[in-house]
Amino acid sequence: MAISEAYAKILDEIKAEFSDFEIIKKEDSKLMKVIDVALKIITFGQMKMFMTGFITTMGNKVYVPSAWENYPPLSKTSVLRHERIHMRQAKKYGRFLFSLLYLVVPFPIGIAYFRKKFEQEAYEESLRALYEWRGAAALDTAELKEKTLSHFTTAQYFWMWPWRSNLDKWYDAVITKIKAGK
């Protein structure tokens, strides 16, 4: 299957699973603009790329940067597989409880256990997508590991987890599991 076909397929699958699924440009959302300002304030200006470099899912709405149309189909497919995990998590726990757990339990900064747990599940799916399209060599780069783990330890996700060794072990175990076909 061609990558562009895989993108069309993931769109169809998500629409079948979540009837109210939509992709919305962040620049068209007043809520996203408010969140952008709030994030800049609470991260002391460190979160500068919320509108341009991050995809945000709320409910079954996926908010994307204006450059989304220029993303390669593989990137779009991987992102949507990641975000579908969050939609499933919200469905499993209920949107309110999922949001509460994701944002504040046990703490919004530093030890955000559930945010870490939910993001680990979603990033595992992102890594699995990369493996399916690019093979094992794509997973064997220090750059990919650092980029992935930085989401957990920097302002990108509000410094959700301080224990890097714990994240290293998780990442290495996920890569081993994916390569083993599990």
For the chain, which residues make up each domain, given as ranges?
3-179
- Residue 90 and residue 55: Cα distance in Å, rounded? 16
Which amino acid type is present at position 63? Y
- Residue 62 and residue 84: Cα distance in Å, rounded? 9
- Residue 90 and residue 84: Cα distance in Å, rounded? 10
Assess whether pLDDT exceeds 70 at residue 1: no
Section 83-90 average pLDDT: 98
- Residue 161 and residue 122: Cα distance in Å, rounded? 16
pLDDT digits (tens, 9 = 90+) for 34-52: 999 999 998 888 889 999 9
Q: Which residues pair with 25 in a beta bridge?
A: 64
Q: How confident is the model at residue 121 (pLDDT cuts 50, 70, 90)?
A: very high
Assign 147 to helix, strand or coil: helix
Nearest C-alpha neighbor of 150 from the set 139, 159, 141: 159
**Residue 47 CB burial class (10 angstroms; 0-12, 13-18, ≥19):** buried
User: CB-hemisphere CA count at 13 Å for 94?
Assistant: 3
Assess whether pLDDT exceeds 90 at residue 171: yes
Assess whether pLDDT exceeds 90 at residue 19: yes
How high is the pLDDT of residue 104? Answer: 92
Mean pLDDT score of the chain: 94
